[in-house]
Structure 1
Amino acid sequence: MSELIGDAILHALPPASLRLTRRRTPSGGTLRIEVTDGGPRSGLQTESPVAPDEHGRGLMIVRALSTGHGTRTEQDGSATWWAELATS
């Protein structure tokens, strides 16, 4: 969850919103995390250089931990990033 929220705050336009949905299944369930942002920020500049070992692995972590993930872009330019996690 923190990776999706952090990316929305650091790399996209406001506002950012979080939605959590839990679906029960016979074998446990699924937690769906959705973070919607205002769309890509143009001309993004960081205030100071960032060590490559401290950034750039967020979506790899999401892929490794989730049972499904993806993104959708709306006509207004906003973007929703989502991931699903198995629950017990």
Structure 2
Amino acid sequence: TAELVANAVEHTAGDGPIELVLELLPTGCQVEVHDPDPAPPGDLTVPHPAEPDPWQEHGRGLLLIRTLSSSCGHRPTDSGKAVWFRLPVVPAQRRPVR
């Protein structure tokens, strides 16, 4: 969530607000960040051909979102775009009976 919000703040053109939307679903949750810039985020749904440079401070956020989420993407909105990811429900762990 912090990565999408930080990307919206850093890379969004325009003066409109940034909105965070969290939706609880039966299968997990979906997190969306809405911003006023219609340009799609780079490398969110298409893996980058090269590994990130280990000496760079930037360039891993969308890789982490792609890796840790069950799905992710972006869509146009009336005021710009929404960038989203889904996290699945983690099944309850059974504890041994003592």
TM-score category (smaller protein)? 0.7 to 0.9
Which ranges in structure 2 are unaligned for 5 or more consecutive residues? 40-54, 91-98
- Which residue of structure 2 aligns with residue 83 of structure 1? 85
User: Deviations 1:35-72 (Å, cap 9, x if unpaired)?
Assistant: 0001068xxxxxxxxxx621111111100000000001
Higher relative contact order (CA 8 A, sep 6+): 1
- Larger helix share, 1 or 2: 1
TM-score (norm 1): 0.73
Of structures 1 and 2, the larger Rg is shown by 2
Which ranges in structure 1 are unaligned for 5 or more consecutive residues? 42-51
Aligned length: 73
CA RMSD of aligned residues (A): 1.9
TM-score (norm 2): 0.66
- Larger strand share, 1 or 2: 1
> Post-superposition, which runs of at least 4 consecutive aligned residues in structure 1 deviate over 4 A?
none
* Mapped partners of 1:11, 1:40: distance in 2: 11
